[in-house]
Amino acid sequence: MKCSRCGREAVYFARYEGRYYCHKHFNELVEGKVKRTIRKYRMIKRGERIGVAVSGGKDSVVLLHLLAKLRKKFPFEIVAITIDEGIKGYRDKSVEVAKKNAELLGIEHHIYRFKDYIGFTLDETVEIMGARGERLGACSYCGVWRRWLLNKAAEELKVDKLALGLNLDDEVQVFLMNLMRGDVARLGRTGPYYEVVHEGLVPRIKPLREVPEKEIVLYAVLNNIEVDLSECPYAVEAFRAEIRDWLNEMEEKHPGTKYQLLRSYDKIFPLLAKTYAKEVKLNRCKLCGQPTSGEICKACQFRLQVHERAKLKFSLSDKNGEDHRNSSFHRGA
Ligand code: SF4
Ligand code: ZN
């Protein structure tokens, strides 16, 4: 097949618009979408310092490359931030990939580890709390602590905004999940821009929200960008997987479904944002100083729970005469 723009050999067919793309025009397609998204919501202003959350996975690494390319024409600063949750055999590999890409692009890179800031790696947390945690899965601790640490990193590194590698598929999956859970308030807080920016909460931007996951993978492959494609061993979000499969099936049968859903969300978002932004009043956490709607933030609550549980385990194992000198709890407690 030939590229619909120049007649060269095509490498991609965008079913949602019935067009073929060669390598050059495919790059322009993806880069154009990102540029337009940034412009449309004024995500980045000239001279701003943008923190990019880079896990080493395809989305965040491609985002780093796209922003690095963009800043050649439109000056702004980039700093890459990697959160290392401490997931053996998975995160250690992707942290290396993140590091290599930042080096390649000449971008300042910082790694923030759960172990250093929470006191435990995620693996240790799971070991202490049990596979399902205190009835919570690894993702619950991970998500709360990651958001907390990213915000802390962003503040420490004095970035104006945090760029996240969330793509079109992610946006639409989350939109549907929140709709199906009846969590309309959340829909008013996770859109393309902020109605109210809270002091102490670094604003997050999502420049890839109009790029389908498929195009991100292909962009990485065609441009020889090294990414880590492995999956987290704790990833068991069954509901999300069902939504993802259903969406892919719908997109197959009715090309353009994902874009239509995103457009629908973007149309109702301003109304939801106005309604629900007012409801959120944030205080400072009494323990860590980060913004929270209560007195102690969720990240500190979780951290205390795990410390308590670890202490209990120690005293029990002491009574049973177990030797825990080499236990991983010991290092984290
Ligand atoms: Fe963390 Fe869960 Fe994501 Fe793994 S799948 S990185 S545990 S949130
Ligand atoms: Zn706190």
Of 91-95, 128-132, 325-329, least confident by mean pLDDT is 325-329
Question: Whole-model pTM?
Answer: 0.91
Give the pLDDT mean for 199-203: 89
Q: What is the pLDDT of residue 160?
A: 96
DSSP code string of 231-271: --TT---HHHHHHHHHHHHHHHHSTTHHHHHHHHHHHHHHH
Mutate-to-test residue for ligand 1 from 93, 145, 174, 234, highest number of ligand atoms within 8 A of CB: 234
Burial of 58 (0-12, 13-18, 19+ CB in 10 A): buried
pLDDT > 50? residue 126: yes
Q: What is the pLDDT of residue 235?
A: 85
Pick the closest to residue 66 from 98, 99, 33 (CA basis). 33
pLDDT > 70? residue 63: yes
Give the pLDDT mean for 266-286: 85
Pick the closest to residue 168 from 247, 235, 250 (CA basis). 247
> 6-17: per-residue pLDDT in tens?
999 999 999 999
Q: What is the pLDDT of residue 132?
A: 52
Counting atoms of ligand 1 from 1, which one is nearest the CA of 138? Answer: 7
User: Which strands form 77-84's sheet, in the order they lie side by side?
Assistant: 108-113, 77-84, 49-53, 161-163, 204-205
Euclidean distance between CA atoms 233 and 139, whole angstroms: 11
Shortest-distance Cα residue to atom 5 of ligand 1: 235
pLDDT > 60? residue 323: no
Q: Pairing relation of β-strands 12-14 and 204-205?
A: unpaired
Shortest-distance Cα residue to atom 6 of ligand 1: 232
* Mean predicted lDDT score pLDDT of the chain: 91
Counting atoms of ligand 1 from 1, which one is nearest the CA of 55? Answer: 6
Euclidean distance between CA atoms 48 and 58, whole angstroms: 25
CA angle 151–152–153, rounded 5-degree value:
90
Asked if 197 and 241 touch (Cβ cutoff 8 Å), the reply is: no
DSSP code string of 32-46: HHHHHHHHHTT---T
Of 175-179, 270-274, 278-282, 298-302, least confident by mean pLDDT is 278-282
Q: What is the pLDDT of residue 189?
A: 84
pLDDT > 90? residue 137: no
Give the pLDDT mean for 204-227: 98
CA of 332 to the centre of ligand 1 (A): 20
Give the pLDDT mean for 173-200: 87
> 297-309: per-residue pLDDT in tens?
999 999 999 999 9
Asked if 63 and 163 touch (Cβ cutoff 8 Å), the reply is: yes
Asked if 319 and 310 touch (Cβ cutoff 8 Å), the reply is: no
pLDDT band at 77 (very low <50, low <70, confident <90, very high): very high
CB of 139 closer than 6 angstroms to any ligand 1 atom: yes
Q: What is the pLDDT of residue 326?
A: 40
Q: What is the pLDDT of residue 280?
A: 65
Of 67-76, 243-252, 324-333, least confident by mean pLDDT is 324-333
Give the pLDDT mean for 128-151: 83
CB of 142 closer than 6 angstroms to any ligand 1 atom: yes
Q: What is the pLDDT of residue 21?
A: 98
Counting atoms of ligand 1 from 1, which one is nearest the CA of 91? Answer: 6
CB of 143 closer than 6 angstroms to any ligand 1 atom: yes
Euclidean distance between CA atoms 138 and 154, whole angstroms: 24
Q: What is the pLDDT of residue 188?
A: 87
pLDDT > 90? residue 228: yes
CB-side neighbour CA atoms (13 Å) of 27: 12
